[in-house]
Amino acid sequence: MSELFSLSGPSFPPRAGGAAEALVILLHGWGADGNDLIGLAPHWAGSLPHAEFLSPHGPFPCDMGFGRQWFSLADRSPERVLAGVRAVVPVLDDFITAALARRGLDERRLALVGFSQGTMMALHVALRRARAVAGVLGYSGRLVGGPALADELTTKPPVLLIHGTADEVLPIAAMREAKSVLAALGVPVEALERPGLGHGIDEVGLEAGRRFLAAKLGGVS
């Protein structure tokens, strides 16, 4: 499948100019596209002046007729969602590997950021790559394939999960379950619950994400 798709999307160059010394890849949610999350880059670029931000579009048109998706949600059963994630993992893995190679970087200089469906992809990929990424920042998502993770886990990157307690799309229980599973497997995971927040990112979550990325990529705190 990876041979059939080549991901692309908007980018934000290092604010300091010159070659990228770190890479942040942003993975959007269902029904959005890469233009949705690239807007986070200016908020974080001041703390990560040597980082480049990439926000690829998901490989498929969204089921609901606009935007993109990483995998279909026409059937939301756990088995079909897991199958959808696994089918698209090679596409995202290839994109990550090529993006690092073009910049002469390795996973130690890479952070993955996801929102909703993008968080599902970020967690799934990062926990199964050959080398650990610097960090995974996941907003309003969940862990797909948790029961199989003990047998498939290859790396344990630091993870920060941020989720609104009033999320109407993915309930806060999804984040709590993800934290519990990851912690039980020895993955260094932190979680931030945002009281009253729905399916979105607020200023507190944005700032927490900035601090996390700066700490993991050696930025300005």
Tens digits of per-residue pLDDT, 139-196? 999 999 999 999 999 999 999 999 999 999 999 999 999 999 999 999 999 999 999 9
The mean pLDDT value for 59-75 works out to 93
Q: What is the mean pLDDT of residues 128-143?
A: 97
Measured distance CA(26)–CA(110) in Å, rounded: 11
Q: How far apart are CA 204 and CA 194, in angstroms?
A: 8
Residue at 30 is within a domain: yes
In our burial notation (b when 16+ CB lie closer than 10 A, e otherwise), range 20-39 reads bbbbbbbbbbbbbbbebbbe
- For 72-213, list the strands marked E by DSSP: 110-115, 135-139, 159-164, 189-194
- Residue 4 belongs to a domain: no
Residue 5 lies in a domain: no
Residues tagged active-site: 116, 167, 199
- Residue pair 55/1 in contact (Cβ under 8 Å)? The answer is no
* Residue 65 pLDDT: 85
CA distances from 18 to 30, 49, 103, 108 (A): 33, 10, 11, 19
pLDDT tens, 206-219? 999 999 999 999 87
* Structural domain span for residue 169: 11-217
Answer whether residue 1 is part of any domain: no
By the 8 A CB rule, do 111 and 137 touch? Answer: yes
Please write the tens of the pLDDT for every residue from 1-19.
Answer: 545 568 999 999 999 999 9
Q: Is the pLDDT of residue 221 over 80?
A: no
Residue 6, domain member (yes or no): no
- Mean residue pLDDT of the chain comes to 95
Identify the pLDDT of residue 53.
98
Q: Residue 62: inside a domain, yes or no?
A: yes
Residues 6+ apart with CB under 8 A from 200: 140, 164
pLDDT at 5: 66
The answer to whether residue 82 sits within a structural domain is: yes
Q: Would 38 be classed as within a structural domain?
A: yes
Question: What pairs with residue 22 in β-bridges?
Answer: 51
pLDDT value for 93: 96
Identify the CATH number of the domain in which residue 147 sits. 3.40.50.1820
Q: Which two tokens stand for residue 65?
A: 């007729």
Domain count, the chain: 1
Q: What pTM value is reported for the model?
A: 0.96
